């Protein structure tokens, strides 16, 4: 009986060892998107802030007039004298209104009326500038 048991056990071991083993089902791997590694910039850079746009200046509208001439050549000559003295002089003409046939020679321009009046008052105190007046250019 021992022999039968021993032979049965041997067949059992051999049977188990020789048994067809089923291969495990291969899983298809899911492909993940591989992103290229991001290169980090190791150089410190100064961040430049955009410069604000300059506020445009208002054009001059108020002018201190040093002289008014009926002859254009005389007005131009006086203007050149003022330029030589360092003033930003110009000859102003009008095609309408009172005194439109006169050439006015300015020597200072302002965009602010109050500033122009204040400067006129300061100028009139000086000798030889008592007749300075403000022209409003439209």
pLDDT, position 36: 66
Q: Per-block average pLDDT, block size 10, for the chain (138 residues)?
A: 66 61 63 67 70 77 94 96 94 82 94 95 94 90
List, in sequence order, the alpha helices (H) in the chain: 2-18, 72-84, 113-125
Domain ranges in the chain?
62-136
pLDDT, position 24: 62
Number of C-beta neighbours around residue 91 at 10 A: 16
pTM recorded for the entire structure: 0.57
Which of the four CATH numbers 3.30.70.100, 3.10.20.740, 3.20.20.210, 3.30.70.1070 does domain 62-136 have? 3.30.70.1070
């Amino acid at each position: 009986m021992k022999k039968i048991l021993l032979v049965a056990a041997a067949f059992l071991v051999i049977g188990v060892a020789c048994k067809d083993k089923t291969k495990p089902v291969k899983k298809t791997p899911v492909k993940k998107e591989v992103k290229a590694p991001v290169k980090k910039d190791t150089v410190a850079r100064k961040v430049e802030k955009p410069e604000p746009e300059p506020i445009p200046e208002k054009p001059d509208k108020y002018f201190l007039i040093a002289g008014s001439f009926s002859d254009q050549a005389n007005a131009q000559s006086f203007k050149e004298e003022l330029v030589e003295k360092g003033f930003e002089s110009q000859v102003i003409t009008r095609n309408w209104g009172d005194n439109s046939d006169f050439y006015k020679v300015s020597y200072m321009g302002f965009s602010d009326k109050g500033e122009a009046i204040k400067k006129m008052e300061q100028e009139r105190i000086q000798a030889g500038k008592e007749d300075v007046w403000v022209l409003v250019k439209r």
